[in-house]
Amino acid sequence: MVCETVMSNLKQNKNKKKKLLFICNRASYFNMHWRYRALNAIKAGYDVYVAVPELPTREDAEELKWVEFNLDRRSRNPLTELFSGYALLNTIRKIKPDLIHSITIKPNLYSGFISRFIGDIPVVMSVTGLGYLFIDQSFSTSVIRELAKMAYRWIGKSDNVTLLFENWDDRKLFLDSGIGNEKRCIRIPGAGIDLTEYYPSPELDGIPVVMLPSRMLWDKGVMEFVEAAKILKDKGVKAKFVLVGDTDQGNPKAVPSTSLKCWADEGYVEWWGFQENMVNIFSKSNIVCLPSYREGLPRALIEAAACARAIVTTDVPGCREIVKHGKNGLLVPAKDSTSLATALEKLINEQGMREKMGCMGREFALREYSQERVLSMTLKIYDAILCRVPNI
């Protein structure tokens, strides 16, 4: 009788869907970079929930179970952070997930602390780039950065925590800082993209278009791009310089819309704002440029490579994972408008080089950044964690 009861319980547990809770700081960011991973987890048999500070629109909410919790992305107030952590704790207690996957720094720290205190819930933390917290050198940010490292060290000691990185540089930085277990610090190449949706197209005739596709943040190198455009236009180089993307008022490094409009009025750049159909937008470009200060793994550059566009970007973590200098694009130093202008001028004047680099970029995207590859890697990590595999 006892044996039959045990076997019955084991069978019920085996057939029971595992609950997977994603925690993210923005619904729009989750839908852009993580939605396919969530849907793939549902397809694999997981019961998936997504906790975000503000629920998405009805159209974006289909198929996923969205949960709202309080979070202020810009806040540095300890009381506000405690309130947010408590709100998330209540969410976790209500859902009772078997696995938590947190994304971005605040959700990572909150879920990490909660998992250490409330029991045996394994947590996967995605370090999607280190952002302004690791770029900004002001005293206040430096203090917060060291506190964040201390928190990550304490959280990372747990065998229940697995850290996912989008590039090798960030992984090395964490390990060198004493954060995490090497066997549980894993690199996954971004979110992957649908390579049938992002496809090559021939360059359009006419004046070459140099495009920066990104959120309009100072850390993305927007100022350097504008300065490079001024250098080249004043020099008489025939090219159009375009900013594609909206500003992000929730980010401390957001470029004011007034600045963007002013630059456009001056005639050095155009600002196209947020665009839905990026395949169509890339087809209008000749060169894609991202002079970022630091990245996790910039999706825009993967999309540009898949669309067979030559790329000019900075020799910084994240960007140099995608662009191999002289192969599928050119690398320049960060925060250096003059070097950026020189590299852009070279590609503006050499269509043959652009086309060759674009072809190599497409091949690289096919080999490294397919959506199928990333989805498979992610599910294997989930399954290994839930099966208590010691070395993932």
Distance CA 208, CA 192 (A): 28
Two tokens, residue 24: 């993210």
Q: What is the per-residue burial (b if ≥16 Cβ within 10 Å, else e) of 108-128?
A: bbbbbbbbbeeeebbbbbbbb
pLDDT confidence band for 152 (50 / 70 / 90)? confident
pTM: 0.83
Distance CA 340, CA 286 (A): 16
Comparing 13 with 136, the larger pLDDT belongs to: 136
Measured N-to-C along each axis, helices 35-43 and 371-386 cross at an angle, to the nearest 10 degrees, of 60
Q: Which pLDDT does position 2 carry in this prediction?
A: 38
Q: With contact defined as beta carbons under 8 Å apart, do 138 and 157 qualify?
A: no
Mean pLDDT value across the chain: 88
> What residues are paired with 21 via a beta bridge?
49, 100
Distance CA 106, CA 144 (A): 12
The greatest distance separating any two alpha carbons of the chain, rounded to the nearest whole angstrom, comes to 89
Q: With contact defined as beta carbons under 8 Å apart, do 117 and 155 qualify?
A: no
Distance CA 269, CA 240 (A): 7
Distance CA 369, CA 371 (A): 6
Q: Which pLDDT does position 58 carry in this prediction?
A: 64
Element (H, E) at 23: strand 19-23
Comparing 133 with 254, the larger pLDDT belongs to: 254
**What percentage of residues in the chain have a pLDDT greater than 90?**
61
Mean pLDDT of 56-65: 71
Cα 392–chain centre separation = 22
Instruction: Look at residue 336 and give its three-state secondary structure.
Output: coil
Return left, alpha or beta for 63; rule: phi > 0 is left, psi -120 to 50 is alpha, else beta.
left
Sign of CA dihedral 343, 247, 275, 323: positive
Domains (range + CATH), the chain? 15-192+371-386 (3.40.50.2000), 209-368 (3.40.50.2000)
Q: With contact defined as beta carbons under 8 Å apart, do 312 and 289 qualify?
A: yes
Distance CA 372, CA 42 (A): 15
Chain segment 315-324, per-residue pLDDT in tens: 999 999 999 9
Q: Is 35 a residue whose pLDDT tops 70?
A: yes
Give the highest mean pLDDT range of 3-12, 53-62, 151-160, 349-358: 349-358
Element (H, E) at 224: helix 222-235
Comparing 11 with 32, the larger pLDDT belongs to: 32
Instruction: Look at residue 186 and give its three-state secondary structure.
Output: strand
Q: Which pLDDT does position 144 carry in this prediction?
A: 74
Q: Is 388 a residue whose pLDDT tops 60?
A: yes
